[in-house]
Amino acid sequence: MTNTADNEPQATLADREASGAVAIVTGGGSGIGAATAQALTAAGWSVVICGRRADALERVADATGAHPIVADTTDAAAVARLVESTVTRFGRMDGLVLNAGIVRPGPVGELSDSDWAAMVETNLTAPYRLLHTALPHLVRNGGAVVGVSSVSGLRASGGTPGYNATKAGLNMLLQSVAVDYGPQGVRANVVCPGWTRTEMADEEMAELGGERGLDAEQAYRLASALVPLPRPAHAAEVAATIAWLLSRAASYVNAAVLPVDGGHSAVDVGTVALDPRFSLAVSMS
């Protein structure tokens, strides 16, 4: 006889959504979080988006049908209320997208204790608290978690040691959840985007480009010049990967740390920089 738990699942989103699946998306007011809310609601999920800016959340809610909750994920009490409110409203919780994050630039010798602490709290401790609170519900429903990390959690970016370290920590936190809770039916995976067109990235590009006499568009082109797909990602492209990882189509994907970076993380910069195809792209930027 075949154990029903071992039966091959339908590789579609529809079988998951037919059960009324519910997901929380942190940092849902803009960027990848907003795009993820759009992707999930379009697939039939009930989605709760949270963040600190009520106006941004309301705009996304109006556009997607997601349910907005103003919550600071660095506040333990707010996290508890967020999960409780979600389960009270929808009766269950099946997915969690850990998207909220911040960056405070500065090399180690110049980074302040307060900026370091803020990145650890937002990028690493807040995801831990959310997981700690949500896991009983995810275990009950055989749920899935996706953490939004960065290629900076795989390879060190210059001048952002706190961001690099906390994103690398997020990768290992989610892999630990995958190992510890996989036997109970919970999957946990990570996406690592490269440069992605979001409000936060646009601001960074304007600042970085300004230091070099470039506008934001020129800075994006320069930053993407050595990427095999030489452009920044669209938030919807990252969101589509997140939605897939939450779905039954990815039912045997667990503990993956998946770059969504156009090939960025595979590049040997020392070699590619000498490739005339890429050198031309850099010179034209």
Report pLDDT digits (tens) over 153-200.
999 999 999 999 999 999 999 999 999 999 999 999 999 999 999 988
Better-scored residue on pLDDT, 280 or 49: 49
Q: Which of 128, 163, 220, 252 is catalytic?
A: 163
Q: Does domain 17-194+235-255 have CATH number 3.30.70.420?
A: no
What is the dihedral angle through the alpha carbons of 87, 51, 235, 226, rounded to the nearest 10 degrees? -130
Q: 3-class SS at 94?
A: coil
Q: Which of 83, 73, 169 is nearest to 122 (CA)?
A: 73
pLDDT at 260: 98
> Which tokens belong to 88?
């009270």
pTM of the predicted model as reported, rounded to 2 decimal places: 0.90
Q: 3-class SS at 24?
A: strand
> Which tokens belong to 18?
């037919």
Q: How far is the C-alpha of 160 from the C-alpha of 274, rounded, in Å?
A: 26
Could you give the C-alpha distances from 58 to 32, 75, 96, 132, 235, in angstroms and in order? 16, 21, 20, 27, 19
Mean pLDDT (the chain) is 91
Residue 107 has pLDDT above 80, yes or no: yes
pLDDT at 18: 37
Could you give the C-alpha distances from 241 to 34, 40, 191, 247, in angstroms and in order? 14, 11, 8, 10
* Residue 163 is among the residues annotated as catalytic for this protein: yes
pLDDT at 278: 63
